[in-house]
Structure 1
Amino acid sequence: MTITIKDLARVAGVSYSTVSKALNDSPLVKPETKNKILKVAEEMGYEPNFAAQRLVSKESKVIGLIWPTLERLAPSSLVSNINEEITKSSYSMILSVNSIQSSIEMFKRFQVDGVILFSEGESESTETLSLPSVTYGVGKNKSYPVIDVNYQAAMEDAVNYLHQLGHRKIAFVGNLTTTDERQIEKSIGFQKAMTKLEIFEDGCLIDTEGFGWYDGYMATIRLINSPYQPTAIISASYDISAGLVRALRQENFNVPKDVSVLSYDNIPQMANMEIPLTSVGVPVEEIAQAMVQTLTKFIKYPQSVPLVQSLKPVITERSSCAPAEKNLISE
């Protein structure tokens, strides 16, 4: 038997409207009353009827999230953080790993209030304009709000950080052949910083031709056997870094004694790698919070949300970087 709000009101001994307000986390309900109602709802196995709720409030309190791939750890970590932020905002989340077009069509049927969109290189769909939408990445060529995480600035910070440690031969290991604007911005930032410092050399850019562990591993093996011998390496992502570190250790390089490693993706999991990696980027918790807060505001007050919001990347120091004089790879 389906449990309704009226059933909850009868058991809790309060009015129908009080139950409705409590379930929507309204500040108009006293905390003790709210806790009592929530406990009754849990004990009775109450499940909200989103369709009915939308008829009354014009909101389903559901957000759709489109992510075409969950294979890499950093995106998965961001999805988890987004889900936590959505829950805090009294919304629920539906996750789709299908194409943008099919996901949007499904979300329309579920009557979601808004969409968090991750294109992963897929071309933007004009269908997203029919629903309030927010994305993250690069703040250009978008027709809906984007949280710009400043990939170029992150790479410039990484190069400058290593340069201050005395490194002059720095390599970048990342996917250079992709059309994904996120990866393109990273390589541009690296090249700009290296050129400004007058230390850019042929051979310092290593193409992984992919995003996975094995891609990072093979690219690092090629780097080790190339004429360009760096004292420090910047990796484009967590997964690439995992393969990079494995290749270095297999070839008997000590990190950071022989070579320093700094990785993009500022996620807590960097501390749990074979070698805890110093990382750069906007902290994943900050990205998730900005995206959810922007979308929930955009749903209610679309004119109040700017098209681009820029976040500042930071460097989280761990144990994978050391001053250049301690590095032996080029000796």
Structure 2
Amino acid sequence: MSDKDVPQRAATIFDVARLAGVSHQTVSRVLNDLPNVRPTTRDRVEQAIKQLRYTPSPAARALVTKRTRVVGLIVTAGAGYGPSSIALHVNEAARQARYSVLTISMLSPVVADVRQAIESLIRQSVEGIVLVAAEQAVVSATYEMDIGVPMVTVDPTEQATGASVAIDQYAGARLATEHLIGLGHTAVAHLAGPEASPDGAERVRGWRDALAEAGLPARGLVHGDWSARSGFEYASRPEVGTACTAVFASNDSMALGIVHGLTVRGLRVPADVSVVGFDDIPEAAHVGPPLTTVRQDFEALGSLLMARLLAAIESDGAPRPTKVLPTLVVRESTAVPASRKP
């Protein structure tokens, strides 16, 4: 250990942990004179405490010694309908369980930002953390973090660990694509979400697999940014409405943009092009035409996230990943293609 390792600001429990090469939970055990700490480890921690002139706060002691009935929620997925709905229902489920929620929201974070957010929440004595991230790299990185408190993530991918809960995005994409295939569409295009999005990636996978099982090619794949504008721009592509008679959009906002863009081109939905969205936002049932979409049960997801977190707080069990099944809501934006009509 050298003087250059000593931070200029007031030292925290995390500074001590880094300098001693241990987890912050181990530092807490030393501070509270708890057993099961090797003598050599205890010596390193005590040396780091002296070198950093660290004074433990009541919050640091609370990491081990008391229950706070406070959990953390980190949302890196922006202010869209899905992330906002998940956050709302996590908060409601926490309230019903008599827990308070400290929320940190971020736009387009990197792993270091999320790590900093986790440390900030732990300093405030949260008993567990729920992570809703828009980037798979962030989700994957958190699986490698030793943060000392339970953390439950929203991860719909095949790489999900036992500490994850998600709506089955793959199954939802299959529902949407199979509905269009069942109507007789043989060329179903897909406006996907951002490439880094785990939800978007699972919807692409479901779309591809449904087409492959039907012996149909996957064409017209473009990655949007979840916005209606990206849907509007996608609708101007020449293959949409010609080579492709149907489009599965990865969320409702992009689907509504597609409908608008097709209308501007003079194409009719669903007479010329069928469109399916994903989410079932409140506006989906009230546009012209009302949108066929995949409904996500965000209330069930929020309740399940909180239930999984509370179970992890109470025990050290290793649950399996859990997924909530979505449902298809058929409205007036999809129909049999014109070439199949008598």
Same fold (TM over 0.5): yes
- The CA distance in 1 between the partners of 2:67 and 2:187, in whole Å, is 55
Match in the other structure for 1:78: 86
Match of residue 64, structure 1, among 60, 72, 77: 72
Match in the other structure for 2:12: none
User: 1:210 deviation in Å?
Assistant: 2.6
Is the contact made by 1:279 and 1:317 (CA closer than 8 Å) also made in structure 2?
yes
SS of alignment partner, residue 210 of structure 1: coil
SS of alignment partner, residue 286 of structure 1: helix
Question: Where in structure 1 are there 5+ consecutive unaligned residues?
Answer: 1-49
- The CA distance in 1 between the partners of 2:199 and 2:63, in whole Å, is 40
Match in the other structure for 1:317: 330
- The CA distance in 2 between the partners of 1:226 and 1:270, in whole Å, is 21
- The CA distance in 2 between the partners of 1:62 and 1:241, in whole Å, is 38
The reply to whether residue 88 of structure 1 matches residue 96 of structure 2 is: yes
SS of alignment partner, residue 205 of structure 2: helix
- The CA distance in 2 between the partners of 1:96 and 1:174, in whole Å, is 27
The reply to whether residue 100 of structure 1 matches residue 114 of structure 2 is: yes
Match in the other structure for 2:246: 232
Choose 282-291 or 118-127, whichever is displaced more: 118-127
Structure-2 change in CA distance of 1:319 and 1:104 (3 Å): same
RMSD: 2.9
Q: Once the two structures are superposed, what CA deviation does each residue of 1:238-277 show, in whole Å capped at 9, x if it has no partner?
A: 3322322221222233322332211122444433445432
- The CA distance in 1 between the partners of 2:98 and 2:339, in whole Å, is 51
Match of residue 184, structure 1, among 198, 201, 213: 201
Q: How many residues align?
A: 272
Is the contact made by 1:151 and 1:185 (CA closer than 8 Å) also made in structure 2?
yes
In the TM superposition, what are the counterparts of 1:280-295 in structure 2 within 5 Å?
Answer: 280-295=294-309
- The CA distance in 1 between the partners of 2:67 and 2:103, in whole Å, is 18
Match in the other structure for 1:30: none
In the TM superposition, what are the counterparts of 1:210-221 in structure 2 within 5 Å?
Answer: 210-221=225-236
User: 1:207 deviation in Å?
Assistant: 0.9
Match in the other structure for 1:170: 188
Match in the other structure for 2:44: none
User: 1:308 deviation in Å?
Assistant: 0.6
Question: Where in structure 2 are there 5+ consecutive unaligned residues?
Answer: 1-57, 107-112
Match in the other structure for 2:150: 132
Structure-2 change in CA distance of 1:230 and 1:139 (3 Å): closer
- The CA distance in 2 between the partners of 1:64 and 1:252, in whole Å, is 49
TM-score normalised according to structure 1 size: 0.72
- The CA distance in 2 between the partners of 1:212 and 1:89, in whole Å, is 35
Match in the other structure for 1:21: none
